[in-house]
Amino acid sequence: MRYHRGVPVQTIPLEPVDGVEILTLIDNSSDMLLAGSDEVKRPRWDTGPRVESPLMLEPTLPRYLSAEHGFSALVSVTKDGTTRRVMFDAGLSTDGLARNLDILQLPLADVEALVCSHGHFDHVGGLHGLIHRFGARQLPLLLHPDFWLRRRIAVPNAEPFTLPTPSKQAVMRAGFDVIEGAAPSLLLNGSLLITGEVARATEFERGFPAHEALRDGAWTPDPLIRDDQAIVLRVRDRGLVVLTGCGHAGVINIVQHAQRLTGEERLYALIGGFHLSGRAFEHAIAPTADMLRELAPLLVVPGHCTGLPAIRALQDALGTEIVVLNSVGTRYVL
């Protein structure tokens, strides 16, 4: 038993790894002009196969990667000379993820599991194309039990927008081996941690105020989106790598939760959606930037639902050499 900020915590023994590579398969942005670095590998202009383009002097063009309002990443973990892979989320459109995998010419035979951050459709829709393009093989699909809840956005004085909902029966029929759990769990021989349900501790990460869920036949407030979970890895001698989907739990809550679970205080990298876009979340931008500055990560990649005002604030707080823009096809080599 150990203590974290005065609270007793049972530490989960997350094994350190020699290296992690996170490849962005789906994100809101595709920018072929972004600069890279030793840790940030941008895709080449000529990524992927060429397609016919009769109006060009040389009548072909590269088939380039697609961006959409969603998120997906391929996580490769190297330890003792062996590399193993899991996928995190599946993007929004039914064919976007499969298309980008084709362009990147990535085989999926060695992907051992798919982890879903939560049940919102912009992280789930690509499962359809994935299974039709690459076939069913009982791939483990790890998620929180609330993943299947029907949900809607009910803004005052507006018609509620009911979110498309994943079907448990259809997902299982498609060939996925569905594994549900709210508690933290380990994959890859203890080298990859799924946070499970994240403890909410900060005062400013209040959740999604207009978000509702259908429970027992009635729409009820669901601001906390309890199924939100993240992936955590521990790079030897560097610290934690935290990968979020939307970060509905709040990225500071998620990082602190990872620190409590692992006993590792150092934050090496934070990558993914931080859900700071829109008026309902503006209040959380400044305290998030302040607390991230105190955590002193070496790399921050705010993508998907983070929003431009939050990205600017994070760059002001930590510097543009630390906070880099995400783009489809970018690899983060840690």
Q: CATH number, domain at 150?
A: 3.60.15.10
What is the structure's pLDDT at 68?
A: 98
| Arithmetic mean of pLDDT, 249-254 | 98
Q: Specify which residues 179 forms β-bridges with.
A: 142
- pLDDT value at 22 more than 80: yes
| Arithmetic mean of pLDDT, 235-245 | 98
What is the structure's pLDDT at 9?
A: 59
Q: Is 310 helix (H, G, I), strand (E, B) or coil?
A: helix
The bridge status of strand 2-4 relative to strand 161-162 is unpaired
pTM, two decimal places: 0.95
Q: pLDDT for 108-164, tens place per residue?
A: 889 999 999 999 999 999 999 998 887 777 899 999 999 999 999 999 999 999 999
Q: pLDDT for 157-184, tens place per residue?
A: 999 999 999 999 999 999 999 999 999 9
Q: pLDDT for 70-82, tens place per residue?
A: 999 999 999 999 9
What is the structure's pLDDT at 5?
A: 52
Top-confidence residue, 267 or 8: 267
Q: Which two tokens stand for residue 36?
A: 């890279």
Angle at 332 between CA 86 and CA 202, to 5 degrees: 80
Q: What are phi and psi of 114, to 5 degrees?
A: -125, 125
Is residue 241 within 8 Å of 269, Cβ to Cβ? yes
Domain count, the chain: 1
Percent of the chain with pLDDT over 70: 97
Residues 289 and 78: their CA atoms lie apart, in Å, by: 31
Top-confidence residue, 278 or 46: 278
Q: Which domain holds residue 199?
A: 2-333
Q: pLDDT for 293-314, tens place per residue?
A: 999 999 999 999 999 999 999 9
Q: Which two tokens stand for residue 225?
A: 């989106």
Q: Is 95 helix (H, G, I), strand (E, B) or coil?
A: coil
Pick the closest to residue 125 from 156, 163, 155 (CA basis): 163
Is residue 267 within 8 Å of 236, Cβ to Cβ? no
- Please tell me the chain's helix, strand, coil percentages from 3-state DSSP, rounded to the nearest 5: 20, 30, 50
Residue with tokens 């362009």: 103
Task: Measure Cα distances from 262 to 3, 43, 230 in Å.
Answer: 11, 33, 14
- pLDDT value at 272 more than 90: yes
Is residue 88 within 8 Å of 73, Cβ to Cβ? yes
Residues 195 and 198: their CA atoms lie apart, in Å, by: 7
Please report how the helices 127-134 and 96-104 are oriented relative to each other, as an axis angle in degrees rounded to 10: 50
Q: What are phi and psi of 56, to 5 degrees?
A: -95, 150
